[in-house]
Amino acid sequence: MRVVEDLGADILNERADELIDQMRQVRRPRLFIISGPSGVGKDAVIERMREAHPDFHYVVTATTRRRRPGEIDGIHYYFMTEAEFVAQHEQDGFLEAAIVYGNWYGVPKGRIRAAFQSGKSVVVKVDVQGSATIRQAIPDSVLIFLVPPSMSELLGRLRSRKTDDPDVLMQRLSTATRELAAAKSFDYVVFNESDQLDDTVNQISAIIVAESSRMEQHEITV
């Protein structure tokens, strides 16, 4: 009887281990989109996320705008001429691309594809318009909307850049109001409160853990 019981337990354990292995194999690389109004702090959030999740791939956006002081090509953006950008765009080289405030911005496809092939989840920083385009192309992407503490705080952050003339500044604020209204189309909203960057990233990390633990996950193709 003991031999039969032991044999039965071994069979049950083997079946249980198979189920556990199947659950492990459910996990797929995920695509996380960080978006929000201009000046909300997307760059600072991404920089801190690099420290918290170094195993992720962080896509660098291409742009034709001028490089700001302190920005490094290939780190903050890929700075391109308009001719270079348009040529790559015509070759279907971007997951999404659009003209924003008079300059081209685009998310390179190739680096996302390579990251997925290596088993890495991907984080992309784009504007609200770009988020909608990516969601249409990749329905399983996870959209996270960063919210400023207030519009007066957002205005202060934009002014502190000292890179925009008054007309552009007002245009950014007007666009931000429309973008806030679009937050309901996102999966999550995270408030990026002043001087609480770690709390913001912790909230995003919790979202990442939850989304990575979903039972139903699909392979993403780019």
C-alpha atoms less than 13 angstroms from C-alpha of 105 in its C-beta half-sphere: 20
d(CA 124, CA 176): 19
Residue recorded with tokens 């909608």: 132
d(CA 203, CA 18): 33
- DSSP letters, 87-101, are HHHHTT-EEEEEEET
pLDDT score of 172: 85
Q: Which token pair is 191? A: 């408030």
d(CA 71, CA 85): 19
pLDDT score of 90: 96
Identify the CATH homologous superfamily for domain 28-212: P-loop containing nucleotide triphosphate hydrolases (3.40.50.300)
Give residue 39's region: left, alpha or beta (phi > 0; psi -120 to 50). left
- Which pTM value belongs to this model? 0.83
pLDDT score of 103: 93
pLDDT score of 13: 76
Judge whether 93 and 78 are in contact, CB under 8 Å: no
pLDDT score of 25: 67
Stretches where the chain sits below pLDDT 70 are: 1-12, 22-26, 162-163
d(CA 170, CA 211): 36
Which CA distances in Å does 201 have to 147, 178, 186? 13, 25, 17
What is the four-CA torsion angle of 108, 95, 42, 193, rounded to 10 degrees? Answer: -160
Nearest one of 58, 32, 60 to 203, comparing CA atoms: 32
3-state secondary structure of 125: strand
Query: What's the order of all strands across the beta sheet hosting 188-191?
Result: 57-58, 122-125, 31-35, 142-147, 188-191
Cβ-proximal residues to 203 (8 Å cutoff; 6+ apart), any chain: 190
